[in-house]
Structure 1
Amino acid sequence: MRIVWSPLAVDRASEIAGYIAQDNPTAAENWVNAVFAQVGRLKSFPDRGRVVSEINNDSFRELIYGNYRIIYRIEEKQVSILTIRHGKQILPVDEILG
């Protein structure tokens, strides 16, 4: 399986890292590295995340990393990383299905 990051997911990861870096640049770098490590494991185990409750479709799953939800879709030959959201934020479904 190949991993493909959507522009939205890249933007969200960058925004979150930027926010963390305001207080602690090292923590921001560690956060980004950990997120990429979590996502990298999906190459071998794409089903490891739980189904996104707002969508209730087995193709749309999420990994929980700290306070964040990494939302992704399992496709035939790839895993598409769709977005990253704080767990307390409402997930706009149209952002994913859009």
Structure 2
Amino acid sequence: MIIAWLPKAIANRDELIDYIAEENLRAAIEQDSLIEAQVNHLVAHPEIGHAGRKKGSRELVIAKTNFVVIYRIRPTVKRVEIIRVLHTSQAWPV
């Protein structure tokens, strides 16, 4: 599987990390590294996230953070698409 970050997910991640960086650059870098490392596990183990709230989606809780990565698996094209990155305090998309 390959990882494909959709534009909305990239924007979400950038916004969240930029917000943290305003107060603590080191923490922002660490949080971003945790997201990247744990998302990369999806290459070999795309099912590690639990079934998502939206049909066809999965959710990967990023350990040691308050972030959840929402993704879908596209087995026919051997791709994992990262749809969103949300903070657990955010309202979830409908």
Q: Please, what TM-score do these two structures have when normalized by structure 2? A: 0.90
Q: What RMSD, in angstroms, separates the aligned Cα atoms of the two structures?
A: 1.0
Moved over 3 A (4+): none
Counterpart position of 2:34:
34
Find out whether 1:63 has 2:60 as its counterpart: yes
Gaps of 5+ in 1: 94-98
User: Identity of counterpart residues, as a percentage?
Assistant: 37
TM-score (norm 1): 0.86
Partner deviation per Cα, 1:15-65 (whole Å, 9 max, x = no partner): 01101001110110111111000000000000000011x22x3x4101112
2:35 aligned with 1:6? no
Unaligned runs of 5+ in 2: none
Aligned residues between the structures = 90
Offset at 1:10?
A: 0.6
Q: Match for 1:73: what amino acid?
A: R
